[in-house]
Amino acid sequence: MKNLKILSYSRITDDFVSLNGDLILRRSASDEPNNVARHWLSEIYSKIGMEYPKFFKMDLLCKAGTMAAELVMRSLNMVNDEVKENWAVLCFNAAGSLDDDRTYQQTIQTKENFFPSPAVFVYTLANIVSGEIAIRHHLRGESSCFVLEDFSAPVISRAFEDALDTADFGLGGWIEFDKGHCDVLICAVGTGNQAELTDFSAENLNSIYQKKY
Amino acid sequence: MICSIGDNILSPLGFTSAENWNAVCSGHSALKRYSDHFDLPEPFCASLLDWEKVEEKFAQLPNNHLENYTRLEKISILSAADAFQKAGINPAAEDVLFVLSTTKGNVELLQDLHDYEPSRPYLWRSAQLISRYFGNANEPIVVSNACISGCAALHLVKPLLQKHGFRYVAVIGADVLSKFIISGFQSFKALSPDFCRPFDADRTGLNLGEAAATIIFTEMAETKRNTIGIVASALCNDANHISAPSRTAEGLLKTLRSVMAAEKNLSASDIAFVNAHGTATRYNDDMESVALDRMGWNKLTVNSLKGYFGHTLGAAGVLETVISSHELLNGQILPTIGTQNPGTAAEIHVALQPEKTDKPLFVKMISGFGGSNAAVLFTKFLAV
């Protein structure tokens, strides 16, 4: 088995953004607490200086996942136009695309107000976020999306290890957006020699997920 | 060899694999025209289950009142129950793992939750209720990878059996249709107003379908009855567009190359047929033809089952594998019904009439939203 390392990781939650264990943004307490998402995600976008017009078309799940992936790839100096054939993208969450599903449902709920929107419908699939991340970073390895009840480091690490039997690198992790709340942990996984890198294991994945900032 | 030891298809054409196989051999299609259905303003063609029949069958199952099961859960349970019976194994055993492939699960409950608990539209919840119905205590895996979900679930079987200590893996693919799904595909202009014509020069879009299908896999050195085995599988992303396939078929091509490189001595001349996705949308079918062309597989027999079942979403990869396995083992390739005059970006050989074969391999390929592509290579695994 390969000696897999966590090459870089980021967190985006309702309250903070972190990269490789360092806090980079904290949401100001004055913002509305019950539906932090929309403003907060836009604020993150401008504060991290991301420039990606497709961002504005995305649903909130994809926005959160794409920004977290951006931070990770940026810290690896990998934001470029190069096609990366052997990078896998693996996404896990509990709600699938239910946040966007509910938005779409509102457009068809009654016969009187029936305006189904293809721009909303296209995001009603749990795996679109993995597609968005693959497109942004030109990742052409395997991509898959799994739905589980809660964050589970053993399940996520098992899937990464299986994918990395063939792929050289994996990008992804827990990308949850539900009822106005987001909870994202994205990591890049691969083989690396640098001594300071954390081993990729369920235990280490769990501790970087649990860390408070 | 990782092989199937039991399978089922539950569709409008029947409640078992045998019933479905007999129906498609007779050229039956489950597609019908619907108007004023699901409270939708526009008519559509689809393959919809007869839910009174489903209820009748479900009422015959033991313990069917453990929960107030939804439509999706009922067909999944019925399908898996038949497959387990055929396999002759105990679904409650701790070395059995359930993998559910679904794109939209209980999404219809967003319209009206009825008496269900708020967690019920969550896919993991359906998977739990399905596996727990059978008394299985392992946490099931849910794969939700748009149209390729079924093949993405098949892709997990090998590591689960060979690395993670499971002796049996039950892959269940299921989706039911509702106002949500039909209206969305209509808004996307992806649905044909008429019966679909996969790979036809005049194709006008896809038809959707409802179904559940199950395959139970294990690893065996030899088999007592003829079945199919998984040789290799691959998933690849196009990294091109979230809702349009790559014009150069890059991702699908890569999956095909990958499965053919998985073992030494694999040769295209041993492939009986390729069961394509063949949705009958302009872009999908063109893309598949380009992938086959770039493989040099222009002369290989290709078919699509969408004219029989419609596009059954999360069930498609599993259901079409089961039908294809009957084709391979019976040496009989099904025609692509609905299609008269093939015409795609690259020239390929689409089966329009039944064909005979004695070759040992078939390829199931599939692509979907999110830029995802999958290919699975299967072989005959014959009784000794």
The predicted-structure confidence for A99-152, as pLDDT tens digits, reads as follows 999 999 999 999 888 999 999 999 999 999 999 999 999 999 999 999 999 999
Q: Which of A21-30, A174-183, B16-25 has the lowest mean pLDDT?
A: A21-30
Which burial class, exposed, middle or buried, applies to A75 when counting CB atoms under 10 A from its CB (0-12, 13-18, 19+)?
middle
Q: Do domains B2-219 and B227-381 have the same CATH topology?
A: yes
Task: Report the sign of the C-alpha dihedral through residues B160, B162, B164, B166, in that order.
Answer: positive
Q: How far apart are the first and last CA of chain A?
A: 33
Mean pLDDT (chain B, rounded): 97
Which three-class secondary structure string do you get for B151-216? Answer: HHHHHHHHHHHHCCCCCEEEEEEEECCCHHHHHHHHHCCCECCCCCCCCECCCCCECEECEEEEEE
Q: What percent of chain A has pLDDT over 90?
A: 89
Question: Is residue B62 very low, low, confident or very high in pLDDT (cuts 50, 70, 90)?
Answer: very high
Distances (CA, A) of B28 to B13, B22, B372: 8, 9, 30
User: What count of residues does chain B have?
Assistant: 384
Please indicate if any CB of chain A lies within 8 Å of the CB of B243.
yes
Going B39 to B44 to B50 to B51, the CA torsion angle's sign is: negative
The yes-or-no verdict on residue A194 having pLDDT over 90 is no
Question: Is a pLDDT exceeding 70 seen at residue A89?
Answer: yes
Per CB-CB distance under 8 Å, the chain A contacts of B242 are: 122, 128, 131-132, 135
CATH code for the domain defined by B227-381: 3.40.47.10
CB atoms within 10 A of CB B186: 21
The long-range contacts involving B155-160, CB below 8 angstroms and separated by at least 24 positions, are B155/A142, B155/A144, B155/B233, B155/B234, B155/B235, B155/B374, B155/B376, B156/A162, B156/B99, B157/B2, B157/B99, B157/B217, B157/B230, B158/B2, B158/B230, B158/B233, B159/A162, B159/A165, B160/B97, B160/B99
Predicted confidence at residue B113, as pLDDT, reads 96
Q: What CATH number has the domain spanning B2-219?
A: 3.40.47.10
Q: Where are the domains of chain B?
A: 2-219, 227-381
Tell me how close the Cα of B354 comes to any Cα of chain A, in angstroms. Answer: 34
DSSP-derived secondary structure for B218-237:
EE-S--SS-EEEEEEEEEEE
Suggest the residue from B37, B235, B237 to mutate for an interface test with chain A (most A CBs closer than 10 A): B237
pLDDT of res. A34:
61
At B118, is the pLDDT very low, low, confident or very high (cuts 50, 70, 90)? Answer: very high
Residues 6+ apart with CB under 8 A from B377: B230, B231, B232, B233, B259, B260, B262, B266, B361, B362, B363
Q: How far is B146 from chain A (nearest CA, A)?
A: 6
Confidence (pLDDT) at A38: 79
A134: nearest CB among B107, B123, B237: B237
Test the B interface: residue of A128, A140, A150, A156 with most B CBs within 10 Å: A140
DSSP per-residue letters across A92-108? EESSTTHHHHHHHHHTT
Helix (H) or strand (E) holding B56: helix B51-59
Mutation choice for A interface testing from B123, B253, B257 by most A CBs within 10 A: B123
Phi, then psi, of B369 in degrees rounded to 5? -55, 150
Is B125 at the interface with chain A, CB within 8 A? Answer: yes
> Could you give the dihedral angle defined by the CA atoms of residues B139, B101, A136 and B244, in that order, rounded to the nearest 10 degrees?
-170
- Cβ–Cβ below 8 Å for B124 and A138: no
Tens digit of each residue's pLDDT (9 = 90 or more) over B274-312: 999 999 999 999 999 999 999 999 999 999 999 999 999
**Residue A24 is which amino acid?**
I
Smallest Cβ–Cβ distance between A128 and the set B141, B183, B369 belongs to B369
| φ/ψ of residue A79, rounded to 5 | -85, 100
Q: Which token pair is A131? A: 């597609």
Q: How far is B316 from chain A (nearest CA, A)?
A: 16
Between the alpha carbon of residue B345 and those of residues A93, B199, B245, B291, B294, the distances in Å are 38, 10, 13, 10, 12
Q: Do A135 and B242 touch (CB under 8 A)?
A: yes
Q: Nearest to residue B133, comparing CAs of B52, B87, B79? A: B79
Q: Give counts: helices (H), strands (E), chain B.
A: 10, 16
pLDDT top residue among A10 and A192: A10
* Backbone torsions φ then ψ of A181, nearest 5 degrees: -120, 140
The stretch A186-194 carries a mean pLDDT of: 91
Question: CA–CA separation, B15 vs B337, rounded Å?
Answer: 21
- The confidence score (pLDDT) of residue A35 equals 63
Cβ-in-10-Å burial (0-12, 13-18, 19+) of B357 comes to middle
Q: Give the span between the Cα atoms of B213 and B175, in whole angstroms.
A: 10
Show residues of chain B in contact with A146, CB under 8 Å: 141-144
C-alpha Rg value of chain B to the nearest Å: 19
**B204-235, pLDDT tens digit by residue?**
999 999 999 999 999 999 999 999 999 999 99
pLDDT tens readout for residues B322-376: 999 999 999 999 999 999 999 999 999 999 999 999 999 999 999 999 999 999 9
Q: Which domains does chain A have, with CATH numbers?
A: 4-210 (3.40.47.10)
Cross-sheet strand order for the sheet of B44-47: B32-34, B44-47, B208-209
pLDDT band at A195 (very low <50, low <70, confident <90, very high): confident
Shortest CA distance to B209 belongs to which of B222, B225, B192? B192
Using the beta-carbon criterion (under 8 Å), do A141 and B164 form an inter-chain contact?
no
Contact A141 B110 (CB under 8 A): no
**CA-CA-CA-CA torsion sign (B197, B199, B200, B202):** positive
Answer yes or no: are the C-beta atoms of B311 and B209 closer than 8 Å: yes
Which residues lie closer than 8 Å to B374 by C-beta, 6 or more apart? B148, B151, B152, B155, B233, B234, B235, B236, B255, B317, B365, B366, B367
The pair of three-digit structure tokens given for residue A139, joined into one six-digit string: 């990742």
Q: Which residues, 6+ apart, have CB-to-CB distance to B184 below 8 Å?
A: A104, A116, A118, A121, A124
3 state DSSP class of B302: strand
A129 to chain B: nearest residue by CA?
A: B370
The residue among B142, B163, B175, B242 with the most chain A CBs within 10 A of its CB, best to mutate, is: B242
A33, pLDDT greater than 80: no
Average pLDDT over residues B130-147: 98
Tokens standing for residue B52: 């009174």
DSSP A93-156: ESSTTHHHHHHHHHTTSSSTT----HHHHTT-STTHHHHHHHHHHTB-S-EEEEE-SS--HHHH
Inter-residue contact A210 to A150 (CB < 8 Å) = no
Digit-coded pLDDT (tens) for B15-61? 999 999 999 999 999 999 999 999 999 999 999 999 999 999 999 99
Q: Binning pLDDT at 50, 70 and 90, where does residue A37 land?
A: confident
pLDDT at position A31 over 80: no
Question: What pLDDT score was predicted for residue A36?
Answer: 66
Residues of B in contact with A132 (CB under 8 A): 242
